[in-house]
Structure 1
Amino acid sequence: MKLRELMPDLNGATAYLNGKVTKEQLQDKPTLIHFWAVSCHLCKKAMPQVNELRDRFQNELHVVSIHMPRLASDLHIELVKQTAEEHDITQPILVDNDRKITEAFENQYVPSYYLFDAEGKLRHFQAGGTSMTMLENRLMRLLEENKRSE
């Protein structure tokens, strides 16, 4: 995806954990889409920071996690549920075993983070084990911009 492109549809999940969410439900405030996999060590390492953003900005930010399997063992829904519980992932999780959402986002990495504004336009992307500070800084600017436009 390129910056300023609209968020793709979130259709095609093979399962939903913590509630179903659609693109249309996310248009009232900025959204962080977070791709992860149970087999990804960096994903688990970054999860407390994702959860901290989710909790700190719960009234100003939507957070949605997309489970993108990398290995055959990642396809087991019970393992996804267990890992979600162990890492306090309480936001909606779209299990993308058929990789339809992954393809719509043209995503290749876990962890990866897509930050969209309230209009659904991509404003920031980062992937891998890069500093979460960069994501948080971009989020802060986006939230400030969102407050000014209200």
Structure 2
Amino acid sequence: MKLRSEMPELVGEVAWLNGQVSKADLVGEKPTLIHFWSISCHLCKEAMPEVNNFRDKYKDELNVVAVHIPRSEKDLDLDEIKVIAENHGITQPIFVDSELKLTDVFENQYVPAYYVFDKDGKLRHFQAGGSGMKMLEKRVNRVLDEVRNA
């Protein structure tokens, strides 16, 4: 997905956990962080406390949505996804993308992966991998500042 691309519709899920959101819910008032993860991804689990910190620190200013993608057959077990999500404090909505439909729309090949959209739903930052959370926070703050200073 290219920078400045429009946020795609959030469709193709096999399930939503922790509530369901749509593109219409996310675009208009607040920027959005969409993060891709998998229960079999060690780096995802390591980074989750920082993602949860973003969610909590910016809860009034930033939408946060998780997208779970499978990397193996074991990753398709919805009950296991629920357990791991609970164990790692994931309370934000989780789009369960077991058929990789949303993953394909995003052209995403990585976990963890982070997509930062501005309040108008335009992609402003993408990064993959478990490190670089300071860079991610800078990019999140840049789009938050645009709203704060508007």
Asked whether the 8 Å contact 1:5–1:121 carries over to 2, the reply is yes
Structure 2 match to 1:14: 14
1:42 paired with 2:43, answer yes
Q: What's the secondary structure of 1:32's corresponding residue?
A: strand
- Alignment partners' CA distance in 2, 1:8 and 1:107: 13
Residue identity in the other structure for 1:101: L
User: Counterpart amino acid of 1:71?
Assistant: S
Deviation at 1:130, TM superposition (A): 2.6
CA distance, structure 2, for counterparts of residue 98 and residue 80 of structure 1: 15
Query: What is the CA deviation profile of residues 3-55 of structure 1, one whole-angstrom value per residue up to 9, with x for unaligned ones?
Result: 00001111010001000110110012100000000000000000000000000
Identity of aligned residues (%): 58
SS in 2 for 1:82: helix
RMSD: 0.6
> 2:131 maps to which residue?
130
Q: Contact 1:9–1:104 at 8 Å: present in 2 too? A: no
The answer as to whether partners of 1:38 and 1:74 remain within 8 angstroms in 2 is yes
2:60 maps to 1:59 = yes
Give the letter for the 1:131 counterpart. Answer: G
- Give the AA of the match of 1:94: F
Matched residues in 2 for 1:25 and 1:143: separation? 17
Structure 1 runs, 4 residues or longer, greater than 4 Å off? none
Aligned residue in 2 for 1:120: 121
The answer to whether the 8 Å contact 1:69/1:96 transfers is yes
Q: Give the 3-state SS of the residue equivalent to 1:114 in structure 2.
A: strand
Structure 2 gaps of 5+ residues are: none
What is residue 25 of structure 2 aligned with on the other side?
25
The residue type paired with residue 26 of structure 2 is L
